[in-house]
Amino acid sequence: MISGGADGLGLAVARRLSSRGVRLVLLDLNPDALAKAKQELGPRTLALRVDVTDPATVRKTVDQAAAETGRLDILVNCAGITGKTNLKSHEVDPADFDRVMKVNVNGCLNTFQAVVPHMLRRNYGRVLHFASISGKEGNAGMLAYSTSKAAVIGMTKVQGKEYAQTGITVNALAPAVIFTELVAALPPEQVKYMTDKIPMGRCGTKDEIAALVEFIVSPENSFTTSFTYDMTGGRATY
Domains of the chain, by residue range, sit at: 68-231
Position 181 pLDDT exceeds 80:
no
Distance in angstroms (rounded) separating the CA atoms of residues 238 and 236: 6
**Torsions phi, psi for 207 (to 5 deg):** -65, -35
Average pLDDT over residues 30-52: 97
Those residues with Cβ within 8 angstroms of residue 160's Cβ, 6 or more apart along the chain or in another chain? 169, 170, 171, 225, 226, 227
Q: What's the pLDDT at 180?
A: 81
Instruction: Judge residue 116's burial from the number of C-beta atoms within 10 Å of its C-beta, 0-12 exposed, 13-18 middle, 19 or more buried.
Output: buried
Confidence of residue 28 (pLDDT cuts 50, 70, 90): very high
- The active-site residue out of 145, 163, 193, 238 is 145
Side-chain-facing half-sphere of 23: CA atoms under 13 Å: 11
Q: What's the pLDDT at 237?
A: 80
Rounded alpha-carbon distances, angstroms, from residue 51 to 143, 150, 158, 171, 182: 23, 22, 24, 23, 18
What is the dotted CATH code of the domain comprising 68-231?
Answer: 3.40.50.720
Confidence of residue 183 (pLDDT cuts 50, 70, 90): confident
Among the residue ranges 116-120, 163-167, 198-202, the one predicted with the least confidence is 198-202
Distance in angstroms (rounded) separating the CA atoms of residues 74 and 76: 7
For 11, the enclosing helix (H) or strand (E) is helix 8-19
Question: Quick check: is 193 catalytic?
Answer: no
Q: What's the pLDDT at 177?
A: 86
Confidence of residue 130 (pLDDT cuts 50, 70, 90): very high
Tens-digit pLDDT profile for residues 202-222: 889 999 999 999 999 999 999
pTM: 0.94
Confidence of residue 42 (pLDDT cuts 50, 70, 90): very high
How does the average pLDDT of the chain come out, rounded?
A: 95
